[in-house]
Amino acid sequence: MKFSTILRHLREGARNIIRNGWMSFASMSSIFISLFILGVFVLLALNVNSMADQIESRVQIRVFLQTDVEQAKVTEVQNKIGNLEEVSKVTIVSKEEGLKILRDAMGAENGDWLEGYNNENNPLPISYTVEVYDPQSVETVALKIDGINKADETNPINQIKYGQGTIETLFKVTNAVRNIGFVIVIGLGVTAMLLISNTIKMTIIARRREIGIMKLVGATNAFIRWPFFIEGALIGFVSSVLTTAAILGSYAQIIKLTKLDLSLMMVNLIPLKEAGMTAALLIIAIGTLIGIWGSTISVRKYLKV
């Protein structure tokens, strides 16, 4: 195809949008609304998934040793736990640190009875905080740590805690939330595609007489199709860019308004730079492709004259 022909198709596609102003406006409005709803749920799904990851990442295993365990055994057990392939980090919590943590957890009003304890008469045992690569492997790791304890004749470990019972429920909820979010986004994506393509088809149907006349005077299918192809691409692209700007602008304001409240809950929204790139690429790609697809499918029907 000659460069001059390409320029002609581009000019005609752009002129068609202006010439059929109301129909173009209707198409762009339909695309904007559909993609806006889809974009909102995409950002929501991304943030829900991120929050689930943040909650799961705080899942840890606490391993409490016997009160009379020797220091050499403390280091030995730490090394054995640290060598487990699922374990990312093992931190020793000394008796002094454990007492301080307990005081902070109980608060000034309820922790008065701990004032009589010091480093010499501290009743708390040495413990480990065990972090894992995959939070959902905590039960497996806890069983392996129990196996390490049973394999040692001195049984240095007194207790292993990881939120048994509660943690399983947490993982079921977070997995369900992820799956529901994925299904909703896919469903809205398909709905948006059908709605947008049907709207673009209506704009083409309204100009079927124009297509028929061009066909009768000898215009080739490609000559007729290309301006509509470009028109659909431009409508889809411009609408999706406007949608992206509206969504990201709103998301930036939401981040500012909820930053303090969510930080108190120890969860954070995905940064605008990270979430914006994903949402923008998805929305612009879908809008442009649907615009092209809707125009191409609709024009094809009226080229059979």
Percentage of the chain beyond pLDDT 70 is: 70
CB 244 within 8 A of CB 280: yes
Which residue type does 125 have? P
Kindly list the distances between the CA atom of residue 288 and the CA atoms of 34, 173, 200, in Å, as whole numbers in the listed order.
Answer: 13, 36, 12
pLDDT at 2 over 80: no
pLDDT at residue number 114: 54
The DSSP code for 123 is -
pTM, 2 dp = 0.61
- Summarised one tens digit per residue, pLDDT across range 8-32 is 656 666 666 666 667 677 777 877 8
Instruction: Using the Cα atoms of residue 23, residue 26, residue 30 and residue 33 in order, give the sign of their dihedral.
Output: positive
Q: Which helix (H) or strand (E) holds 240?
A: helix 221-264
Instruction: Using the Cα atoms of residue 22, residue 26, residue 31 and residue 37 in order, give the sign of their dihedral.
Output: positive
CB 141 within 8 A of CB 61: yes
CB 90 within 8 A of CB 82: yes
Band of the pLDDT at 46, cuts 50, 70, 90?
confident
Across the range 283-293, mean pLDDT stands at 80
Place of tokens 């339909």: 30
